[in-house]
Structure 1
Amino acid sequence: MTIWDDIATERLGIAEVLEGLTEAQWQTPSLCGKWSVRELAGHLVVPFHTSIPNFAVAMVKARGSFHRANDSLARAQSRRPTADLIADLRANANHHFTPPRQGPLAPLTDALVHGQDLRIPLGINDPRDPDKWQQSLDFLVTPAARAGFTRAELPPVEFVATDLDWHFGEGPQVSGPAYAIALALTTRAASLERLSGAGIDDLTRWMG
């Protein structure tokens, strides 16, 4: 399988989860900032409808704030009917959008992390394939991931995956499943209860 096959699989998996939700569940707060599951679904379809020039216009409207532009576009898409959002994810599962200078590991990481952003609050235990997470972890510790995924400085700990032959960093150790490490690197506080080790306090402080 190629990385694009993996991305398509994750998008289709998210669509399947969304299809089984009640209207109340669509309003569940996700792990991603202030977005509900519905708004997160809106974010996931934004790349299918937003060209780079369109995003530049959104940035101007947001006075240069990437996060405000991203939020505005996601909320606009989220106002569409639920069936449309689900159909959009399925129809565009093989869409080959990549952010500038980030390559296909960016949309793979986006789909994997956001998949957990909605599954975990909904009580769905499905951490996905660790091998896919290894690709995302390798991406998240690169400078390219500092734009939109993680922070300018990585936490002062050594991460050790317990379900993969993967480790990174220097300092007190933090260990756990690969998906939880990816959630930590993308500053999801929910990752902390899924990790352990002497570096947990340092990681918590880094998350702020």
Structure 2
Amino acid sequence: MEILEMIADERRRLADLVDSLTEEQLQTRSLCAAWTAKEVVGHLVAVVAASNTAALKLLLTSGFSIHKANARLAAQTAERPAPELAALLREHATNPFRPPVVGHPGALTDLQIHSQDIRRPLGLPHQLRPERMRISLDFLVGGRAVGFTPKKRPAGLRFETTDLDWAHGAGPAVRGTGEAVMLALAGREAAFADLDGDGVAVLRRRA
């Protein structure tokens, strides 16, 4: 399966997740501390469905801060009914948008991490696909994961997954499932309890 097909499938699977959640679950705080589960979905919808005009207007009114504009766009998009958000994800599932710098590996990783931002606080199984996790793990330690993982975060550490045939680096070890390693590399505090090895404390400080 090509990476664009993986991205499309992840969008559709996220749409299925949204359809399965209650309003209370959608309003649960995600692992992205500033966002509820529904606002995380709003962000992922806005990436492919927001108009360039709306995004530019928000950028202008946010003092050209991409971070602020992104947060406001996510919140605005999340005001739509959940079934509409799910429908937009399906409608735009095959959108070939390639984010600058991070490319399609970044888009796939964004979907996988944010799906876990929603699922973990709700106690839902991750349902991540091994081949897709490997792509995201390679991306996160590859030095080009701008906005995901600063270059210094994985430096001098060895990462070993216990459920995938994947490892990277040399130095004090960080061991855990592919999901936990992926989330920890992305700075998600909730994942550290699922890791072990001499490098965990170092990675936690850097995150």
TM-score clears 0.5: yes
SS in structure 1 of the partner of residue 10 of structure 2: helix
Q: Flag structure 1 segments of 5+ consecutive residues without an equivalent.
A: none
In structure 2, what is the equivalent of residue 15 of structure 1? Answer: 15
The CA deviation string for residues 159-178 of structure 1, in whole angstroms up to 9 with x for no partner, is: 11112222223321011111
CA pair 53-150 structure 1, distance change in 2 beyond 3 A: farther
Shift of 1:21: 1.1
2:173–2:197 contact (8 Å) kept in structure 1: yes
SS in structure 2 of the partner of residue 175 of structure 1: strand
Structure 1 length as normaliser, TM-score? 0.91
- Matching residue's letter, 2:148: F
Alignment of 1:1-80 (within 5 A): 1-50=1-50, 55-80=55-80
2:141–2:151 contact (8 Å) kept in structure 1: no
1:127–1:179 contact (8 Å) kept in structure 2: no
In structure 1, what is the equivalent of residue 135 of structure 2? Answer: 135
Shift of 1:189: 0.6
Shift of 1:25: 0.8
SS in structure 1 of the partner of residue 103 of structure 2: coil
The share of aligned pairs that are identical, in percent, is 41
1:116–1:127 contact (8 Å) kept in structure 2: no
CA distance in 1: counterparts of 2:152 and 2:127, whole angstroms: 26
CA distance in 2: counterparts of 1:152 and 1:54, whole angstroms: 32
In structure 1, what is the equivalent of residue 150 of structure 2? Answer: 151
CA distance in 2: counterparts of 1:49 and 1:91, whole angstroms: 9
Structure 2 length as normaliser, TM-score? 0.92
CA distance in 2: counterparts of 1:53 and 1:186, whole angstroms: 30
SS in structure 1 of the partner of residue 203 of structure 2: helix
CA distance in 2: counterparts of 1:32 and 1:127, whole angstroms: 19
Shift of 1:40: 0.5
1:140–1:149 contact (8 Å) kept in structure 2: yes
CA distance in 2: counterparts of 1:52 and 1:46, whole angstroms: 10
SS in structure 2 of the partner of residue 63 of structure 1: coil
1:181–1:191 contact (8 Å) kept in structure 2: yes
SS in structure 2 of the partner of residue 7 of structure 1: helix
- Matching residue's letter, 2:162: T
2:15–2:90 contact (8 Å) kept in structure 1: yes
Backbone CA RMSD of aligned residues: 1.7
- Matching residue's letter, 1:154: R
2:143–2:150 contact (8 Å) kept in structure 1: no
2:140–2:148 contact (8 Å) kept in structure 1: yes
CA distance in 1: counterparts of 2:127 and 2:85, whole angstroms: 23
Shift of 1:205: 0.9
Q: Flag structure 2 segments of 5+ consecutive residues without an equivalent.
A: none
- Matching residue's letter, 1:101: V
1:130–1:179 contact (8 Å) kept in structure 2: no
